[in-house]
């Protein structure tokens, strides 16, 4: 079973995540998701456990638990939903992209303003 874990401390590493779940059974994989540019944790991760019964027990006991001062959420991961296919290429939009000032002419003193 694939398990989603959220609200993790940014200090939690893959090994820590694995350790939380090995108490309940075998862990196939444990991965804290990181930002691809900074390499820092995004505060959530996934754990894969081959035994559904052990995974269900882990979810029940770890959900709303406190880890490094944060209340974590633990639930069965949902399959990634298919994204609608993106059409068109890059480009820069269309339409009137001219500059200038629109509307009532711009600044200056307006005696009707006050």
42-90 pLDDT, tens digit each: 999 999 999 999 999 999 999 999 989 999 999 999 987 766 666 655 5
Domain extent listing, the chain: 2-76
Residue 4 has pLDDT above 90, yes or no: yes
As a whole number, mean pLDDT of residues 14-26 equals: 95
Residues 6+ apart with CB under 8 A from 42: 32, 33, 34, 35
Give one DSSP letter per residue of 65-99, joined into a string: -EETTEE-EEEEPPPPPPPPPP-S-S----S----
As a whole number, mean pLDDT of residues 84-106 equals: 60
Does pTM surpass 0.85? no
| Domain 2-76 CATH superfamily | RRM (RNA recognition motif) domain (3.30.70.330)
């Amino acid at each position: 079973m694939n398990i989603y874990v959220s609200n993790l401390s940014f200090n939690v590493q893959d090994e820590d995540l694995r350790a939380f779940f090995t108490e309940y059974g075998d862990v196939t994989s444990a991965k804290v998701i990181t930002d691809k540019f900074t390499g820092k944790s995004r505060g959530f991760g996934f754990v894969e456990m081959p035994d559904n019964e052990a995974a269900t027990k882990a979810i029940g006991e770890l959900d709303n638990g406190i880890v490094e001062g944060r209340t974590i959420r633990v639930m069965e991961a949902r399959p990634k939903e298919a994204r609608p296919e993106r059409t068109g290429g890059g480009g820069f939009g269309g339409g009137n992209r001219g500059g200038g000032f629109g509307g009532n002419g711009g600044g200056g003193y307006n005696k009707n303003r006050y």
